[in-house]
Structure 1
Amino acid sequence: MSTIAVRTSTAESAPLEAFVACAHQMLDPNTPEAARCALEPRLLALLPTLRALGVFELFDVRHPALRTWLEDEMQEGPH
């Protein structure tokens, strides 16, 4: 899987762009565990905006582990 540059501030990018970039890095087996741990809160912070935009009503997450994680997080609500 190729590395996608993640901008340091999600204010610089669209929420969907930031989500996809973070998700790609989290799923990349070459991403160090510390980096994955840092990406998780960024993904969680994007969920309310993506839900409000209806992203998860329009698109299915096909990666099984990411789909399960997202479903669990969205059921639990905000942290």
Structure 2
Amino acid sequence: MIRLVTTDLSEATEGREAGDALVTFVACAHAMLDPGTPEDRLRRLEPRLLAQLPTLRALGVFELFDIKDPALAAMLADENLNM
């Protein structure tokens, strides 16, 4: 079982990739949705955000949560078509 949060420190590394993927995705998405984010930073963030998709899909994140921002949702839908 993959855990995003654990209280058992003996298993602190188990599921870490899942937690890291979720944190990275959310941080990149927030920055990409910020109108003040410079274009050059947006170009660096997009591949990092997209790289998290396989892990997040495997966790079923997108079966539980919807992306509300139309531009971000369209980018993810386009990425799904290109898989």
SS in 1 for 2:52: helix
What pairs up with 1:1-79 in 2 under 5 angstroms? 14-77=20-83
SS in 2 for 1:73: helix
Letter in 2 for 1:47: L
Q: TM-score, length-normalised on structure 1?
A: 0.78
Q: 4+ runs of 1 displaced by more than 4 Å?
A: none
How many residue pairs end up in the alignment?
66
Cα offset, 1:64, TM superposition = 0.8
Structure index of larger Rg = 2
Aligned to 1:6: none
SS in 2 for 1:14: helix
Letter in 1 for 2:26: V
Separation in 2 of the partners of 1:63 and 1:23?
Answer: 10
Listed as ranges, the gaps of 5+ residues in structure 1 are 1-10
Aligned-residue CA RMSD in angstroms?
1.2
SS in 2 for 1:30: coil
